[in-house]
Amino acid sequence: MVHNGIEYAMMQLIAETYDILRRAGGLDNNRIREIFDKWNEGQLQSYLIQITAEVFKTLDKESNTFLVDLVLDKAGSKGTGKWTSQSAMDLAVPIPVIDTAVAMRNLSIYKEDRTKAASIYKPRSEKINVDEAFLTDLENALAFSFIIAYAQGLNQLAKASIELKMDIPLPSVIRVWKAGCIIRSALLGNFSAAYNRDQFLSNLLLDSDIALLIKEREQSARNLTAAAMRAGIPVAALASTVTYFDAYCSERLPTNLIQAQRDYFGAHTYQRIDREGVFHTEWHESE
Amino acid sequence: MVHNGIEYAMMQLIAETYDILRRAGGLDNNRIREIFDKWNEGQLQSYLIQITAEVFKTLDKESNTFLVDLVLDKAGSKGTGKWTSQSAMDLAVPIPVIDTAVAMRNLSIYKEDRTKAASIYKPRSEKINVDEAFLTDLENALAFSFIIAYAQGLNQLAKASIELKMDIPLPSVIRVWKAGCIIRSALLGNFSAAYNRDQFLSNLLLDSDIALLIKEREQSARNLTAAAMRAGIPVAALASTVTYFDAYCSERLPTNLIQAQRDYFGAHTYQRIDREGVFHTEWHESE
């Protein structure tokens, strides 16, 4: 199930990359195929990138035009992505990039609403100049977001292993995924090494070698996502990996305010940073 | 339940605003209180903004310092946000800002991981100059994202009303919310007017007057989110409202690629834009 959740995330991330190249970059299918073919020879080498390139080679036999352009943009699903998200919420594990992929598939179904909204809001996608520097940023941003997607899914397995006493051997999970499944990729080699260093690693992002991979790609992911958001291209999954990373690296989150609000309106109590215990305050009376 | 889902989203959005003002802006609690007090007299007038200002007035009696600074940044929850997200996934309604608020509460719990990650990645939050122009952008971005949060929750109620034959009278829902609940706000007046024009409105964003409110604030939301992402402030919920809006206004999403991929590796079939029916292609053989 979690394999499929990660698969949903990777497919959504690839689709957003395609959208940037096509809508903001104005690239044609041949050029997009070349880019995915080239990416499949480098850090992004993976089954999903490989088949994406092949999709852009396929012609509709009758019209002799690219088949991908004739496919309706409403996603189907068998439910495995949804189950992954629902289960993660029960386990209290944050997997926002998978949640986002599920939400975006659901949003795609409302084609009639989207058509109405497009006529009301008349979105003008700003153009982006897709030069070599931009393509390098895009490739690095996609690699960054793939790592985060795997990290979130594996974090869910690590938590499930403890909470549900499932005793999941994460090094074996990676071995199985490498052996020939839809999310197989060169990156799994790096993850094997990380789990060989610590088989109980709670989150891949805490491994020092994975941290190097992330640090080298962080700025690209940040630049790319900001540029796409300014251009009006919906990069929900890409953006969610950057914001997850920023939250994950925040020793201090603004959640103290949420706890204060909850205690204010519902007396839900709060903990303190300076002493043990559970506290309640009559906030509005203590001015 | 959906009321509480929207509440989760609004609280997360306010918390992100606070984080921008505090971490990137370097503002102190007195100044932050002034800003929320002022916001509560304008377009953002609402119970949650009002109590946020009051939280920033409250002192810890013993230390005579601001109590909010002593509250631990781990969120609790009673599960209503989670149920809202899980139910929306079952109904195939996209409510990503609520999903994100749930995920961010869950992420906040992993304080130990976050502390480790902060020491590994040493995030440097870039400073933002909080001048009047920036504050106007921030206020508009927050209003934009509040509207999207309500729109997603109400979209879920509209869908549930049909799918589950619940016959939910949306104008009455708004009336009840206005009468004195945690998500009451001046914006609900605009929503009443929208439902008076069309009580079966599937999504608030399709109402012409709501569209004006959104259009006037869209650029602020876009600028603000991009700036925060560049500065390394985790604006997961704010970003999710911009990407949802961009996807919702896309007559053509890149989901055609996802459908092609699904048909490639799983023979899940696809629909076409040029004719009725369900199709399957042997993609890799048709080169």
Question: pLDDT tens digits, residue range A232-257?
Answer: 999 999 999 999 999 999 999 999 99
| Alpha carbon separation from B189 to A121, B78, B125, B179, B218 (Å, rounded) | 22, 29, 38, 11, 20
Does residue B2 register a pLDDT over 70?
A: yes
| ipTM field | 0.97
A89 contacts B85? CB cut-off 8 A: yes
A154 — pLDDT class (breaks 50, 70, 90): very high
Of B11, B105, B226, the CB nearest to A229: B226
DSSP A181-206: -TT-BTHHHHHHHHHHH-TT-S-GGG
- Residues of A within 8 A of B205 (CB-CB) are 117, 120
pLDDT digits (tens, 9 = 90+) for A225-237: 999 999 999 999 9
| Alpha carbon separation from B163 to A77, A82, B20, B158, B166 (Å, rounded) | 18, 18, 40, 9, 8
pLDDT digits (tens, 9 = 90+) for A175-196: 999 998 999 999 999 999 999 9
Region B219-227 average pLDDT: 95
A19 contacts B286? CB cut-off 8 A: no
Q: How far is B172 from chain A (nearest CA, A)?
A: 24
- Residues of B within 8 A of A118 (CB-CB) are 249-251
Of A75, A214, A250, the CB nearest to B118: A250
B285 — pLDDT class (breaks 50, 70, 90): low
| Alpha carbon separation from B265 to A61, A185, B268 (Å, rounded) | 20, 15, 8
Does residue B286 register a pLDDT over 80?
A: no
For residues A98 and A9, the answer to whether their CB atoms sit within 8 Å is yes
Does residue A287 register a pLDDT over 50?
A: no
pLDDT digits (tens, 9 = 90+) for B237-256: 999 999 999 999 999 999 99
A108 contacts B257? CB cut-off 8 A: no
Nearest-angstrom CA–CA distance, B81 and A262: 13
- Residues of B within 8 A of A107 (CB-CB) are 94, 244, 247-248, 253
Q: How far is B115 from chain A (nearest CA, A)?
A: 5
- Residues of A within 8 A of B82 (CB-CB) are 89-90
Region B9-19 average pLDDT: 98
Of A68, A89, A264, the CB nearest to B260: A68
Q: Mapping DSSP to helix (H, G, I), strand (E, B) and coil, where does residue B105 land?
A: helix
CB atoms within 10 A of CB A182: 19
Q: What is the mean pLDDT of chain B?
A: 96
Mutating which of B121, B124, B198, B212 best tests the A interface, going by the most A Cβ atoms within 10 A? B121
Q: B246-274 burial by CB neighbour count: b if 16+ within 10 A, else e? A: bbbbbebbbbbbbbbbbbbbeebebbbee
Which tokens sit at B230? 């560049």
Does residue B56 register a pLDDT over 80?
A: yes
**CA of B18: which chain A residue's CA is closest?**
A254
What percentage of residues in chain B have a pLDDT greater than 70?
A: 99
> How many distinct helices (H) and strands (E) make up chain A?
12, 0
Nearest-angstrom CA–CA distance, A192 and A92: 25
Of B86, B202, B260, the CB nearest to A71: B260
B229 contacts A73? CB cut-off 8 A: no
Regarding pTM above 0.95, the answer is yes
For residues B262 and B268, the answer to whether their CB atoms sit within 8 Å is yes
B149 — pLDDT class (breaks 50, 70, 90): very high
Strand partners, A66: A59
Q: What is the mean pLDDT of chain A?
A: 96
B244 contacts A236? CB cut-off 8 A: yes
Region B105-124 average pLDDT: 96
pLDDT digits (tens, 9 = 90+) for B157-178: 999 999 999 999 999 999 999 9
User: What is the interface size between A and B, counted as CB pairs within 8 Å?
Assistant: 381
